[in-house]
Amino acid sequence: YVARVKMAAIGQYIVAEIQKRMFGRIMHADLAWVSKTHSGRFLSGFLYDANRVRDTVTTSVIDFGQNLLTVVALVGAMFWLNWQLALMGAAVIPVVGLVVGKLGRRTRKAAKRNMEGSGDLTAVISEALKGIRVVKAYDQESTEIGRTSNTIDTVRHNALKAIRARSMASPITGLLSGIGVAAVIYFGV
């Protein structure tokens, strides 16, 4: 409980700092770039992307801390019981590290695409709402619905990629850990 509350407080602080820096950069940015970039991208950055960073950091740090303590305790117990078998089991650790590192890179790429897509969606909806009179005057409702639908599908696709990448870490780590434990049991008997 205490860890989650503290991490949530740190996460909120991080979001506030990210938002302040983003706004400062926008205010000092080149006017041509600011004019060219749709306001939906800025809003998405402030509202969605910053909170996404907070959630990722909070969850990752808590999970990492809990898993690290568990691993340290188990490895200590293994070495206390039988150091030779513990070394055999520890051989799996570098493989797990490589796999988790690769999955982390995939997750970051997918999350980045997801955040960019959310900015695009915010921009498309914002444009459609700002220009609703023109859309209706020229009977372009179907065009706008199609454009928004395509953007929503892209965001959904990217979100699912990010979820798949994040979700693969636990089963793969569990499988590799199971292989290590099975090897220790097999060779230790």
Contact 177, 95 (CB under 8 A): no
Fill in the DSSP letter of residue 140. Answer: -
Chunked into runs of 10 residues, the chain (189 residues) has average pLDDT values of 68 75 79 77 70 68 69 81 78 78 81 80 81 88 90 86 77 79 74
Residue spans per domain, the chain: 2-188
Q: What are 116-166's pLDDT values in tens digits?
A: 887 788 888 788 878 888 888 899 999 989 998 898 898 888 888 877 877
pLDDT, position 28: 82
The predicted model scores a pTM of 0.59
Q: Where are the alpha helices (DSSP H) in the chain?
A: 2-28, 31-36, 39-44, 50-81, 83-90, 92-130, 132-137, 141-188
Three-state DSSP class for 11? helix
Q: What CATH code would you report for 2-188? A: 1.20.1560.10
Query: What is the pLDDT, as a whole number, of residue 54?
Result: 67
Give pLDDT, residue 5. Answer: 67
Does residue 155 contact residue 115 with C-beta atoms inside 8 Å?
Answer: no
Question: What's the DSSP call for residue 29?
Answer: S
Helix (H, G, I), strand (E, B) or coil at 1: coil
pLDDT for res 146? 92
